[in-house]
């Protein structure tokens, strides 16, 4: 059955938390911090959190946010994370999530979608993304 893509709801919290921990290899998502911020994320108009649901089960999600960027001459949609449940991979669920992200970004008059990852470059290349710069990060704690 084809999953439906919909805006995340409060009832999706535990499913998203479990999926988030599948995504991050080096970092474990802190449940207390997640609980503190989840409702504000789904209420924030500049943040979009969408889930893929199949047979009443959340099998994937993406989290993205909009901001103005000088270099883009307008709004940019930044994809923070996208994850599909291990058992549901290879079924085009990631593609459906990315299509929804692109549709939403267009509706919001975004100039581009940006992201930073090295782990799924083939996936993003097939969707028309181009590598333009490296990604650096520095943990502050």
User: Which of the pair, 41 or 118, is modelled with greater confidence?
Assistant: 41
Q: Is residue 116 part of a domain?
A: yes
Q: Is residue 139 part of a domain?
A: no
* pTM summary value: 0.86
pLDDT at position 28, please?
84
Work out the percent of the chain whose per-residue pLDDT is above 70. Answer: 90
Q: Is residue 133 part of a domain?
A: no
Mean pLDDT of the chain: 89
- The per-residue pLDDT for range 11-61, each reduced to its tens digit, is 999 999 999 998 766 678 999 999 999 999 999 999 999 999 999 999 999
- Average pLDDT rounded to a whole number, residues 92-117: 92
Q: Is residue 141 part of a domain?
A: no
When pLDDT is cut at 50, 70 and 90, the band that residue 128 belongs to is: confident
Q: Is residue 136 part of a domain?
A: no
- Average pLDDT rounded to a whole number, residues 78-107: 93
Q: Is residue 117 part of a domain?
A: yes
pLDDT at position 12, please?
98
- Average pLDDT rounded to a whole number, residues 59-70: 96
pLDDT at position 135, please?
65
The set of long-range contacts for 94-103, using a CB threshold of 8 Å and a minimum separation of 24, is 94/60, 94/123, 95/127, 96/2, 96/3, 96/5, 96/52, 97/5, 97/50, 97/52, 97/60, 97/61, 97/62, 98/62, 98/127, 99/5, 100/5, 100/50, 100/62, 101/48, 101/50, 101/62, 101/64, 101/77
Q: What is the residue range of 71's domain?
A: 4-126
CATH number for position 17: 3.40.630.30
Q: Is residue 131 part of a domain?
A: no
pLDDT at position 81, please?
92
**What total of structural domains would you count in the chain?**
1
Q: Is residue 111 part of a domain?
A: yes
């Amino acid at each position: 059955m084809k999953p439906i893509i919909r805006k995340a709801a409060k009832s999706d919290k535990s499913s998203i938390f479990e999926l988030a921990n599948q995504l991050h290899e080096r970092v474990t998502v802190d449940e207390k911090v997640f609980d503190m911020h989840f409702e504000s994320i789904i209420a924030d108009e500049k943040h979009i959190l969408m889930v893929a649901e199949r047979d009443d089960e959340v099998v994937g999600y993406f989290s993205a946010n909009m901001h103005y960027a000088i270099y883009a001459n307008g709004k940019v949609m930044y994809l923070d994370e996208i994850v599909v449940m291990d058992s549901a991979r290879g079924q085009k669920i990631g593609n459906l999530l990315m299509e929804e992200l692109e549709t939403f970004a267009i509706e919001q008059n975004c100039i581009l979608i940006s992201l930073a990852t090295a782990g799924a470059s083939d996936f993003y290349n097939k969707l028309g993304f181009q590598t333009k710069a490296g990604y650096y990060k520095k943990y502050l704690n």
